[in-house]
Chains A and B, each alone.
Chain A
Amino acid sequence: MGNLYPIKQIVDEEGKFVDTTMKSLISKELVEQFYYHMLRIRTFDRKAKNLQRQGRLGTYALFEGQEAAQVGSALSFGESDWVFPTYRDHGALLTYGADMVRVLLYWNGRVEGNVHHGKNIFPPAVPIATQLPHAAGAAWAEKRKGTKNAAISYFGDGATSEGDFHEGLNFASVFKLPVVFFNQNNGYAISVPIEKQMNSETIAQKSVAYGIPGVRVDGNDVFAVYFETLKAFERARNGEGPTLIEAVTQRFGAHTTADDPTKYRDQDVVEENRDKVDPLLRLERFMKGNGYWDREWVQNSLATIEAEIEEAVTQMEAFPEPDVADLFDHVFETLPWPIAEQKESYLQSIGGD
């Protein structure tokens, strides 16, 4: 069955076109946009890891290796669409326009990090696959309102084993809801490899069960990811219902900063393969091969990105201390008496206002 879903590629590992159908749409500007965002989120990811090591950030979920999947998808949707990320998709969120300070705050244990004004960004799903039905619901509301907006739900390979994966896809397909189910198959759910996760050869083929289109893309080929997600959004906006996209990629590092991947795989092999699978190297080769590589632009971009990240870290660290009242104030619109009493008594006990 897997061979029914061959991996779609536009640009191969060597940075060469293997499919030129979209060539006319690939401008220098678009390529630079891809590269800039991928470089930006990789730099962010490495910085966040370092901050965690220095005790300046909490446990952090790394995504290095998945930049093409996150950037390619995130650049394909619009201002009024809905995003339902997991905890590993802040690369996509940053690309979509989430405030970097907020993203850092989230990883520093601050609830303020979930507040994204002006964009429909749902807080990241921490339990697995629960966001798929949410995306179906938000898309359903858009359908009822008669808009052309859609929702995208990110999820990993492990999520496909959960009941909510099925329930989300089933609802979305039964009610023909404008949802893009965007899977990043990075081969591991923490330590469990894909072959122990499922008996099916691909995730894309699971679309058959719901009677919806399924696509398997090279998740390290930002072009393939971008154009396939764009198509899925187009279908959603045209009332054609959901699409399941499987972006095959790799996470180079650990599941989180609290994880040691050498317990379950040979990291030397991962590094040896990096040359082949690293989405940034591939894009670099493509740019060089097509005359888009401008060393000065790259250096300037990196400098801009590093300055932006430094500034965001400074702001995150200068962010006002958490207000203890926030512990109580947002559970209900109006505090029921048990919470109101607990709040009053606790604030008094710590000498608050």
Chain B
Amino acid sequence: MVQVEGVEKRISPQTTQSLTMVQAVTDALGTMLEQDERIMILGEDIGKNGGVFRATEGLQTRFGEERIVDTPLSEAGIIGSSVGLAVNGMIPIAEIQFLGFIYPAFEQIATHATRIRMRTMGNYSVPLVIRAPYGAGVRAPEVHSDSSEAFFTHMPGIKVVCPASPYDAKGLLISAIKDPDPVLFLEPMRLYRAFREDVPTGVYDIEIGKGKKVVEGEDVTVIAWGAMVPVVKEAAEKAKANGIYCDVIDLRTLFPLDKEIIAESVQKTGRAVIVHEAHETSGLGNDILSIINNTSFLYLKAPVEKVTGFDVPVPFFALEDHYLPTAKRVVTAIEKVHSF
């Protein structure tokens, strides 16, 4: 595993703990809540219950009901009141229980949270983090499994971040909380407890807008994020067995995309596969394609392949394994671009 230089910035010497991603999220929240009184967490079932995924476990006991707030079941109310809190000096972190439930708040995000700075020429701003578990693969009831990041990357005025590991989840969430503008922080629920990683205690930042090379290879660039990263790593392992060495990029931030890491890799390999769980049409894969086109067209040795969810609503879970890109589908695409 290769860390891109200059991306990680540790602020103080730390010890580490072995944490799952959801524990890393809790750790990031607790660490920042300790540092800044202005930070509040708002959401459904996040207080006493510690969140349906336990991402806020224990925080209400530590920081009190004034700061860790069980709100009414009201997504537009959560985001709308967060906008008011944010312009008036607070730093709200809103939890939307599942990304598939964010739509009632869409207007508050699209029309207000993302526009207040522009509409007031910077007189008001909205330092708001919206956390939302997203994605399929955990046998959740319908509508719990959406992966609608492209609605938000298309929306001017909000950054979109999506970690794939406990270490990145904590560092990126800390950066999101420190960011002066709205950040949508997507948490792949499929990876919440998938594995543990050493995570430093205390504060560290990971720069928003920077991807990470997770596998180094010369033959085919494979680009993914969030819950697709382990799938792609598995595919890269399989391809390696056939003598194809993949350069795997975890984008980590979906707006703004890390153009340099994409260009650097594609210019090296000349071949690329883009993998995302969301629907293909108007999906973020097309923006990545556009970056490849703009930066690396003359380096390409094969048409770029995409492996994505289909243009259908995320299905009931009995069929979700057919909807989700699999390592097998990714390997097929890798082989296709490799043998072109």
Contacts and interface: CB of A to CB of B under 8 A. Distances in A.
Interface of A: 82, 111-112, 114-117, 120, 122-123, 126-127, 130, 132-142, 144-145, 151, 163-164, 167-168, 170-171, 174-175, 326, 330-333, 336-339
Given A138-B85, A330-B117, A337-B259, A133 B76 contact: yes
Contact of A134 (B112, B119, B159): B112
Contacts of B74: 167, 170-171
* Contact-residue bracket for chain B: 35 or more
B44 interface: no
Contacts of B209: 336-337
A120 B88 CA distance: 9
A336 B256 contact: yes
Interface in B164-203: 180-181
A139 B80 CA distance: 12
A331 B157 contact: yes
A263 B84 CA distance: 38
Contacts of A112: 121
Interface string B51-79: 00000000000000010010110101101
B265 interface: no
A140 B94 CA distance: 15
Contacts of A132: 80
Contacts, number: 135
A249 B315 CA distance: 51
A24 to B, nearest CB: 36
A144 B69 CA distance: 12
Q: Which of A116, A175, A331 has the most CB of B within 10 A?
A: A331
A130 B118 contact: no
A336 B81 contact: no
A111 B259 contact: no
Given A134-B80, A167-B80, 9 more contacts: A111-B119, A133-B76, A133-B80, A133-B83, A133-B84, A133-B108, A164-B107, A168-B77, A331-B118
B84 A138 contact: yes
A-B pairs with the 10 shortest C-beta distances? A137-B84, A133-B80, A167-B77, A141-B88, A137-B81, A336-B256, A138-B84, A134-B84, A137-B85, A333-B180
B150 to A, nearest CB: 15
Nearest to B75: A167
Interface string B83-107: 1111111101000000000001001
A222 B112 CA distance: 32
A141 B89 contact: yes
A339 B156 CA distance: 9
A111 B118 contact: yes
A133 B117 contact: no
Contacts of A171: 71-72, 74, 77, 80-81
Nearest to B108: A130
B255 interface: yes
Given A171-B81, A336-B159, A164 B259 contact: no
Interface string B114-155: 001111111111000000000000000000000000000000
Contact of A170 (B72, B84, B117): B72
Nearest to A82: B88
Contacts of B120: 111, 114-115, 123, 330
A137 B256 contact: no
Contacts of B221: none
Contacts of B86: 137
Contacts of A134: 80-81, 83-84, 87, 112
Contacts of A331: 117-118, 156-157
Contact of B76 (A126, A167, A175): A167
A137 B121 contact: no
12 contacts: A114-B120, A123-B119, A133-B79, A137-B84, A138-B87, A140-B81, A141-B85, A163-B104, A171-B80, A332-B117, A332-B181, A336-B159
A127 B107 contact: yes
Contacts of B255: 336
A103 to B, nearest CB: 14
